[in-house]
């Protein structure tokens, strides 16, 4: 019988790529999103399919899904530092109340649930590269606390449902991932630099540019998540690309790639911005037989082509997404 999967955050960057993947694998996909940060453009190509339905819903409210459910993928959350600064309370609620509702739904339906956690649970890490057994270094009351602590709570409640209710749970810790369908103005470094380069603006490096990140191309990330869902491993697993680069070097790389004549300008480093980040993926290699296949040169080329293909007004629409009524003062 055809498997049915619920994907939350389905209109977002990773959620939409997961919809594509599970449709391709022959699943019936129920895509859920409240569209605060997501965009229907990312999934509109799926609307005509019989095996796909969209449900406009805020998962912090009770969730009703008729019929059988075999799997749940929980990818609903603001995920860029600017987003969660603008909507901190929704960020806390979706990771806590939203996750609780989904765990209850999974229990009711006897479904396996995979939740999207993040390298942010390691905070500004004192262990490098980050292994799954590192507990992290998070400032609970800093600007990133709303995201980091929501995700840490999400892991805890998921484990509690696993041990107390015997629920089948999976936890992926996602490291910086990029590719087509990232929001151009979400403030994250890859769309920010590409947007600046394409508009002919200077590239804004925060701090002195010595902080590091390790960027994973989206198709590799989706493959890791897919394998983890179908594995029998219930503890957290890092999925990311271990190839680390400083943000300063990365800005130079983007300027070369886009033939940009502008320069780099330096701005203040945001509070609690992690100074280094690189996943240790030994565990993922061992239990999932997974490692990234797409290097940055290849992934960035595809991503750059995607951003170049956007209508010009998108590129010059510089204001951050207007969250309107969703912003609670």
Among 15-23, 35-43, 57-65, 204-212, the segment contacting ligand UDP (CB under 6 A)? 204-212
Judged by beta carbon, residue 175 or residue 226, the one nearer ligand UDP is 175
Respond yes or no: is residue 147 known to be catalytic. Answer: yes
Contact indicator for 11, 40 with CB cutoff of 8 Å: yes
For residue 30, list its beta bridge partners: 6, 53
Q: Does 247 bind ligand UDP (CB under 6 A)?
A: yes
Tokens of 12: 């977002």
* Burial degree of 271 (CB within 10 A; 0-12, 13-18, 19+): exposed
Judged by beta carbon, residue 70 or residue 273, the one nearer ligand UDP is 273
Among 18, 92, 189, 194, binds ligand UDP (CB under 6 A): 189
Binding positions for ligand UDP, 81-120, rule CB under 6 A: 81
Q: Which residues lie closer than 8 Å to 51 by C-beta, 6 or more apart?
A: 2, 23, 26, 27, 28, 29
Indicate which residue of 27, 28, 147, 226 is catalytic: 147
Alpha-carbon Rg for the chain, nearest whole angstrom, is 19
Judged by beta carbon, residue 15 or residue 81, the one nearer ligand UDP is 81
Among 134, 153, 206, 323, binds ligand UDP (CB under 6 A): 206
Binding positions for ligand UDP, 57-86, rule CB under 6 A: 80-81
**CA 231 vs CA 150, 155, 172, 279, 290: distances in Å:** 25, 18, 12, 20, 12
- Supply the minimum distance, in Å, between the C-beta of residue 67 and ligand UDP: 37
Judged by beta carbon, residue 39 or residue 273, the one nearer ligand UDP is 273
Among 205, 216, 228, 300, binds ligand UDP (CB under 6 A): 205
**CA 57 vs CA 176, 179, 267, 287: distances in Å:** 27, 26, 38, 35
What string marks each residue from 260 to 279 as x (binds ligand UDP by CB under 6 A) or -?
A: ----------x--x------
User: What whole-number distance in Å separates Cα of residue 11 and Cα of residue 196?
Assistant: 25
Among 213, 227, 296, 321, binds ligand UDP (CB under 6 A): 213
- Supply the minimum distance, in Å, between the C-beta of residue 291 and ligand UDP: 21
**CA 220 vs CA 40, 72, 174, 300: distances in Å:** 23, 20, 11, 13
- Looking at the chain, the number of H-run helices and the number of E-run strands are 11, 13
**CA 5 vs CA 68, 160, 218: distances in Å:** 9, 22, 20
- By rule CB under 6 A, what count of residues binds ligand UDP? 15
Binding positions for ligand UDP, 109-168, rule CB under 6 A: none
User: What whole-number distance in Å separates Cα of residue 252 and Cα of residue 132?
Assistant: 31
Among 204, 246, 262, 282, binds ligand UDP (CB under 6 A): 204
Give residues in contact with ligand UDP (CB under 6 A).
80-81, 176, 187-189, 192, 204-206, 211, 213, 247, 270, 273
Instruction: Point out the residues that are catalytic.
Output: 147
């Amino acid at each position: 019988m055809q498997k049915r999967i619920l994907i939350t955050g389905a209109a977002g960057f990773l959620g939409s790529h997961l919809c594509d993947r599970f449709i391709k694998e022959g699943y019936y996909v129920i895509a859920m999103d409240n569209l605060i940060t997501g965009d229907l453009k990312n999934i509109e190509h799926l609307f005509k399919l019989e095996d796909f339905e969209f449900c406009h819903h805020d998962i912090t409210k009770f969730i009703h899904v008729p019929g059988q459910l075999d799997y749940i993928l929980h990818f609903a959350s603001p995920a860029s530092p600017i987003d969660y600064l603008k909507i901190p309370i929704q960020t806390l609620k979706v990771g806590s109340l939203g996750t609780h509702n989904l765990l209850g739904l999974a229990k009711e339906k006897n479904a396996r649930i995979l939740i999207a956690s993040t390298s942010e649970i390691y905070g500004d890490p004192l262990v490098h590269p980050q292994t799954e057994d590192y507990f992290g270094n998070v400032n609970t009351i800093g600007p990133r606390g709303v995201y980091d602590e929501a995700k840490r709570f999400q892991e805890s409640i998921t484990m509690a449902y696993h041990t107390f209710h015997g629920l089948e749970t999976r936890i992926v810790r996602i490291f910086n991932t990029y590719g087509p369908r990232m929001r151009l103005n979400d403030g994250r470094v890859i769309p920010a630099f590409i947007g600046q380069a394409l508009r002919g603006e200077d590239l804004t490096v925060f701090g002195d540019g010595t902080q590091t990140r390790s960027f994973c191309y989206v198709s590799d990330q989706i493959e890791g998540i897919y394998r983890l869902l179908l594995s029998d491993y219930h503890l957290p697993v890092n999925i990311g690309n271990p190839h680390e680069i400083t943000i300063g070097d990365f800005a130079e790389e983007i300027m070369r790639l886009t033939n940009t004549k502008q320069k780099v300008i330096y701005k203040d480093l945001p509070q609690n911005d992690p100074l280094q980040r690189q996943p240790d993926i030994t565990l993922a290699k061992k239990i999932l037989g997974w490692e990234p296949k797409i290097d940055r040169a290849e992934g960035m080329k595809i991503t750059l082509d995607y951003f170049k293909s956007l209508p010009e007004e998108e590129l010059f629409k510089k204001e951050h997404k207007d969250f309107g009524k969703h912003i609670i003062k």
